[in-house]
Amino acid sequence: MTIKKTMLGTLGLLALTASPVLAEGTINVLTWEGYADPSFISKFEETSGCQVNATYVGSNDDFAPKLMAGGGVYDLITPSIDTTKLMIDLDFVEPLDTAKIEGWNDIYPKFLALDGIQKDGEYYGMPYSWGAIAFMYRDDAFDTPPTSIADLWREDLKGKISLWDDKSAIYVAARKNGDMNIYSLSDEQIAAAQKTLVEQKPLIRKYWATAGELVDLYKAGEVVISNTWAGYQSSLLADEGVKVTEFIPKEGAEGWLDSWMVVKGTPNKECAYKFLNMQLSELGQCGVANVNGYSAANASAAKSCMTPEQFAALHQDDPAYLDSLLIWTPLGDRFEAYTNAWNAVKAQ
Amino acid sequence: MSFLRRNLPGMLVMGIPLMWIALFMLLPYGIIVTYSFWLKKYPTFIPAFQFGNYITIFTDPQYVRVFLRTLKISVLVSAASFLLAYPFAYYLVFRCRSAALRTWLYMAVIAPLWVSYLLRAYIWKTILGTEGVLNSFLMSLGIINEPSSLFLYNQFAMVVTLTYIFIPFMVMPIYTALEKIPTNLTEASADLGMGPWRSFWTVTLPLSLPGVAAGFTLTFCLSFGDFIAPFLVGGPDGNLIANVIATQFGAALNWPLGSALAIVMLVVVLTIVSLSDRMERKGMTGGV
């Protein structure tokens, strides 16, 4: 299913024909699977009188092309923190009236301080959920648990390694090379990361593109170690009875944050703000935590709706964990250098 | 008035398809050509007239490498399809005595076309995988002791999958070409003392070449533009040109470079088509 969705995402024509209909009191959200899950959206629809139409993206790269293909379709989007700035610079989103969002001040200050969601003193994104790009291994394949990124370069694991097909591969390789400034790499550092990835290539079974694909790769016994969206694929695999363990390597892990953004000129502002309020409340915050296994951006809402175990498991009470993550940062005009290097690795 | 009334049906019959072609083929090509001269500039790209994108394609080794790889895969797929399709079509036309069996076998080749492309490509994953059907089969026969990972996520898997998916486009034109060859020609050849192999080489095969050329063209062009097989069964070295184009329009947000790549690809495909067209015509006039 996930693969099929990615295909649809890539085919612009199909995307157009699949565009949801515009109707009064209906908001169209372009988001990740789980972020508009019926388990909590149905309740919102009943109490607010607003209908929610969700279209799903397979990657952060889907937002810009979809909004460029034609405006006026989507009201709300949820790009990650490396893509939010692009949305602002492309003039696709409008500033938020934070006074109209209850619980705004309960959002982790670290998130509100991020550059990617603001411009000229105004907020354009409402932090919603976050997590780490952790690493993951199959329990039965390791006697001693892996602890380092270098384990993804081990000769004895040849043909059993997978890596996310994303520019973040450059971040991983740079850390392996000892370059910790992963969001401001020089051309030489990027070239070195590219070289490191080319060396790894013969060991790679497959670069994974979607969450479902990675789950399939583990399930079919094709790979034993990879990076992952912490909390998500591992719980899907647990449901399938495949025992995997997530770990943060000693070289550190990237962190991501997804924010809700209001598309410029939406005619459904009232419903949009009702929706934002719901997503930041206990209903939305625990909704996404329960469906996707992601951590919540509103600490106080999380505290009141999560069990103490879940609160701890999602690192909600652990500021040191959050601080240890290298939160994705917009690359601006360096973006091309990163994607170009990653494409060159794949072309090799 | 009467002129209009008299010609209206004709204008509609010709006009609508022409409008369709103009609107949905020529106009988009024009847009792509225009974009290919534009310039990438954060956050997106700006109108310009420069050849930078084309220069990049021919100077940056990554694009040349992917083009050559795509070429290699497409040639392998066409060759494999030909080797499988020709004997099959030959059997159907000349050896299969039962008309019912012939229809059934022909349908068996065509029928997969009615099943979703995605599904057919996906099935090969379950066949070729490490814990897949092929591995279990080979292990049960004792040919291998432990599952092999050699079948999936590499170029071999892509060639197998694409050959399976596109082989009907090789069978159909060859079948049609062979069917058109009058049987009395081979009989005459036999009367003149030719053995069956000589007859085949000097009469049947040359006469069926237009069909072979058509089949090669179809399978080659379809494989050349494929981007789902690399995604599903290809490995880390499986990126084809269509995947690179998709990346430029998506992740890299570099529509100008993506457009330039698409134009280069179009030129390659059109060259192949016109070459094969010439071959077919030569086959037609030089033959019967």
Q: Give A344's contacts in chain B (Cβ within 8 Å).
A: 60, 62
How far apart, in Å, are the Cα atoms of A254 and each of A152, A229, A259, A285, A315? Answer: 16, 10, 17, 22, 15
Q: Which one of B40, B127, B130, B244 makes the best mutation probe of the A interface by having the most chain A beta carbons within 10 Å?
A: B130
Neighbours of B170 (CB within 10 A): 31
Q: Do B62 and A65 touch (CB under 8 A)?
A: no
More confident residue, A10 or A126: A126
d(CA A129, CA A111): 10
* pLDDT reported for residue B283: 65
Q: What is the pLDDT of residue A73?
A: 86
Bond before A95 cis per omega within 30 degrees:
no
**What's residue A11's pLDDT?**
44
Quick one: pLDDT band at residue A80, thresholds 50, 70, 90?
very high
When mean pLDDT is compared across A50-64, A209-223, B184-198, the lowest value belongs to: B184-198
Least confident of A342-346, B96-100, B175-179: B96-100
Q: Does domain A2-130+257-327 have CATH number 3.40.190.10?
A: yes
Q: What is the pLDDT of residues A230-240, one digit of tens each?
A: 888 998 999 99
- Whether B28 is covered by a domain: the verdict is no
Quick one: closest CA in B to A161, which residue? B236
Residue B1 has pLDDT above 60, yes or no: no
Q: How far is CA B270 from CA A260, B25, B115, B170, B277, in A?
A: 46, 14, 28, 19, 10
Q: What whole-number percentage of chain B has pLDDT above 90? A: 59
pLDDT tens digits, one per residue of B209-247: 999 999 999 999 999 999 899 989 999 999 999 999 999
Quick check: A348 and B65 CB within 8 A? yes
- Which residues contact residue B172 at a Cβ distance below 8 angstroms, ignoring those fewer than 6 apart? B109, B110, B215
A131-254+331-347: CATH number: 3.40.190.10
Q: Which residues of A touch B118 (CB under 8 A)?
A: 3-4, 7
pLDDT at A24 over 70: no
Name which of B60, B130, B247 is nearest A220 (Cβ-Cβ).
Answer: B130
pLDDT computed for residue A322 by the predictor: 87
Which pLDDT tens digit goes with each residue over A282-326?
Answer: 999 999 999 999 999 998 999 999 999 899 989 998 888 888 899
Percent of chain A with pLDDT over 70: 93
Beta bridge partners of residue A161, listed in sequence order:
A204, A225
Cβ pair B228:A332 closer than 8 A? no
Q: What pLDDT is stored for residue A18 in this prediction? A: 43
User: How many domains would you assign to chain B?
Assistant: 1
Average pLDDT over residues B173-202: 87
Q: In the prediction, which pLDDT does A320 show? A: 86
C-alpha–C-alpha distance, residues A292 and A211, integer Å: 11
Could you list the residue range(s) of the whole structural domain that residue B71 is in? Answer: 54-286
Residue A62 has pLDDT above 60, yes or no: yes
| CATH number of B196's domain | 1.10.3720.10
B236 vs A167, A206, A220: nearest CB: A206
Do A204 and A348 meet the contact criterion of CB atoms below 8 Å apart? no
Residue B30 lies in a domain: no
Query: Rounded to a whole number, what is the distance in Å from the CA of A47 to chain B's nearest CA?
Result: 38
Measure in Å the smallest separation between the Cα of A11 and chain B Cα atoms.
Answer: 9
pLDDT surpassing 90 at residue B288: no
Q: Tell me if A68 and B44 make a contact (CB, 8 A cut-off).
A: yes
CB contact under 8 A, A346 and B131: no
* Contact (CB<8Å) A205/B235: yes
pLDDT tens for B134-147 read: 999 999 998 888 88
Tokens representing residue A169 in the block: 């591969």
Could you tell me if B239 lies within 8 Å of chain A, comparing CB atoms? yes
CA-atom Rg of chain B in angstroms: 24
Alpha carbon distance B284, A75 (integer Å): 59
Do the two domains A2-130+257-327 and A131-254+331-347 of this chain adopt the same fold?
Answer: yes
Q: A223: pLDDT confidence band, cut at 50, 70 and 90?
A: very high
What does the pLDDT read at residue B80? 97
**Which residues in chain B have Cβ-Cβ distances shorter than 8 Å to A166?**
251
- Residue B232 near chain A (CB below 8 Å): yes
Average pLDDT, chain A: 89
The answer to whether residue B282 scores a pLDDT higher than 90 is no
B2 part of a folded domain: no
Quick check: A312 contacting B, CB < 8 Å? Answer: no
Lowest-pLDDT range of A55-64, A172-181, A201-210 = A55-64
Task: State the ipTM, two decimals.
Answer: 0.85
Output b/e per residue, B201-238; b: 16+ Cβ within 10 A. eebbeebbbbbbbbbbbbbbbbbbbbbbbbbbbbbbbb
Residue A13 exposure: Cα atoms within 13 Å on the Cβ side: 2
**Nearest residue in chain A measured CA to CA from B246:** A10
Give the angle subtended at the CA of B78 by the CAs of B73 and B82, to the nearest 5°: 145
Q: Cβ contact (<8 Å) for A339 and B251?
A: yes
Residue numbers of A between 255 and 294 with CB closer than 8 Å to B:
none
N- to C-terminal Cα distance for chain B?
A: 50
pLDDT at A7 > cutoff 60: no
| Chain A, window 41-100: residues with a beta carbon less than 8 angstroms from a chain B beta carbon | 59, 61-62, 64-65, 68, 86, 89-90
pLDDT digits over B63-103, tens only?
999 999 999 999 999 999 999 999 999 999 988 888 899 99
| Mean pLDDT across chain B | 90
B16 in any annotated domain: no
Domain coordinates in residue numbering, chain A: 2-130+257-327, 131-254+331-347
